[in-house]
Amino acid sequence: MEGAGGGNSLPSTSGADAVKRRVSYFYDPDVGNYYYGLGHPMKPHRIRMTHSLLEKYGLLDRMKVIHPQLARDRDLCAFHTDDYVAFLQSAKPETLTNPCVARRFNITDDCPVFYRLFEFCQTYTGASVDAAKELNRCNADIVINWSGGLHHAKRSEASGFCYVNDIVLAILKLLENHDVSPLLVPSLLSSSFHRSFCVSVFHSLLLICSFLICLQRVLYVDIDIHHGDGVEEAFLTTDRVMTVSFHKFGEYFPGTGHILDNGYGKGKYYAVNVPLNDGIDDESYHYLFKPIIAKVMEVFNPDAVVLQCGADSLSGDRLGCFNLSVKGHAECVRYLRSFNVPLMLLGGGGYTLRNVARCWCYEVYWSLHVEVNDKMPDHEYLGYYGPDYNIHVATSNMENKNSRKSLDDIKAKILDNL
């Protein structure tokens, strides 16, 4: 897969060779300490494993490494309701005694209240929102936050291991440039005639400028094995955000993401769902991914792309049932990067920890476009990667339940809608 053609390198703004990109990587050293509880498959420790691998490979020296700010309550309220944010803020494992409250906010075994839950939400969300600001300021071509990508969280409900939807908040931040600046102008001017004249001239100029500089359209692509329901729902009625999710469909969490679900009102045809079956391999996946994404890029022409890189679509995942290799997964990153549009990479699911770290580390390689040494350097967590200690591991011989006919039908239907 590596070095495969079929990319879409357009002239780059940051390098004539259309290869080099400025990459900013967001990491809070505390994130690996959060713990969902005994027996829970979601383990933030995988973010620390990935970071340690990146460090020992020398990749941190090739990126701008940023310690993100914690998101504030009012940042979260840009999407979530005040009462849900207040609940998260006060929730403690020892005080959650009222079953009605737990039911109201969907606090279940999937989404338990654990020690310092709110700080965890602030940490991963702060990193995604700061990553969006970094793109808005044109400080980077690619921004990365492996602790983000919690795509199931709803406006006033936790779901599928997700509490705050950092993706929705990051996309809102990307789209925000547009609206806020004119509000700042009146306070800058004093005399009243002068002021009203200047204000209207200034407003017109700002309006023109904001159309030139603001992000009008954001594309969201989701390669986690689960449907990206929370993000799709948030933007279901707008034509400024297109959501595209590839996922296992049929008796699988969360149960949404039918191919015929494609948005409402102004958002009709701006939600794309690609339902897949067990055992899909790299070749079948890209038989759909590439033509669908190529058409989306052509017709939607986004100003920025947010890619949720859930690693539970990898072969051998503890909760997943796909058969993608690390190269096949990373090929999605390589392909999207080749369009030379500002790109945000986020984490998501991924429950076989050693493969998550392998995959996200390799995706940083692809972001930077540097050589990869398959043999891992010695580091704190090397023991996880035995007996081979390589980045790349074999996929399985499981059956691919996606026939060529079913893939052709899905492709035809989706390309037709687009």
Binding residues: 110, 160, 224, 226, 312, 351
166 binds ligand V1D (CB under 6 A): no
385 binds ligand V1D (CB under 6 A): no
Neighbour-count burial of 180, counting CB atoms closer than 10 A to its CB (0-12 exposed, 13-18 middle, 19+ buried): exposed
130 binds Ca ion (CB under 5 A): no
Closest approach of ligand V1D to the CB of residue 374, in Å: 27
Partner that binds at residue 235, options Ca ion, ligand V1D, none, CB closer than 5 to 8 Å by kind: none
Residues contributing to the annotated binding site for substrate: 110, 160, 351
> What is the Cα–Cα distance from 135 to 174, expressed in whole angstroms?
8
Residue among 92, 170, 180, 193 nearest 124 (CA): 170
153 binds ligand V1D (CB under 6 A): no
Nearer to Ca ion among residue 112 and residue 348 (C-beta)? 348
152 among known catalytic residues: yes
243 binds Ca ion (CB under 5 A): no
Q: Which position among 136, 165, 238, 245 is part of the footprint of Ca ion (CB under 5 A)?
A: 245
Q: Which position among 34, 349, 363, 376 is part of the footprint of ligand V1D (CB under 6 A)?
A: 349
| CA dist list (Å): 415 to 2, 411, 412 | 26, 6, 5
Q: From residue 245 to residue 284, what is the string marking binding to ligand V1D with x (rule CB under 6 A)?
A: --------x-------------------------------
Closest approach of ligand V1D to the CB of residue 316, in Å: 15
Q: Which position among 222, 229, 232, 312 is part of the footprint of Ca ion (CB under 5 A)?
A: 222
Task: List Cβ neighbours of 270 (8 Å cut-off, separation of 6 or more).
Answer: 235, 238, 239, 241, 242, 243, 262, 263, 300
Partner that binds at residue 222, options ligand V1D, Ca ion, none, CB closer than 5 to 8 Å by kind: Ca ion
226 binds ligand V1D (CB under 6 A): yes
CB distance 305 to 135 below 8 Å:
no
- Which residue type, as a one-letter code, is found at position 334? R
Closest approach of ligand V1D to the CB of residue 234, in Å: 15
Task: List Cβ neighbours of 175 (8 Å cut-off, separation of 6 or more).
Answer: 214, 215, 216, 218, 240, 241
| CA dist list (Å): 57 to 52, 60, 98, 162, 380 | 9, 8, 48, 30, 13
Partner that binds at residue 317, options Ca ion, ligand V1D, none, CB closer than 5 to 8 Å by kind: none
Torsion angle (degrees, nearest 10) of CA 54, 56, 58, 64: 50
222 binds ligand V1D (CB under 6 A): no
Residues composing the chain: 418
Closest approach of ligand V1D to the CB of residue 188, in Å: 43
Stretch of residues binding ligand V1D (CB under 6 A), selected from 91-99, 144-152, 391-399, 406-414 = 144-152
> What is the Cα–Cα distance from 47 to 216, expressed in whole angstroms?
32
CB distance 351 to 318 below 8 Å:
yes
CB distance 148 to 169 below 8 Å:
no
Strands 23-26 and 142-145: parallel
48 binds Ca ion (CB under 5 A): no
- Which residues contribute to the site for Ca ion (CB under 5 A)? 222, 224, 228, 245, 247
- Which residues contribute to the site for ligand V1D (CB under 6 A)? 39-41, 109-110, 149-152, 160-162, 224, 226, 253, 310, 312, 319, 348-349
Q: Tell me which residues are annotated as active site.
A: 152
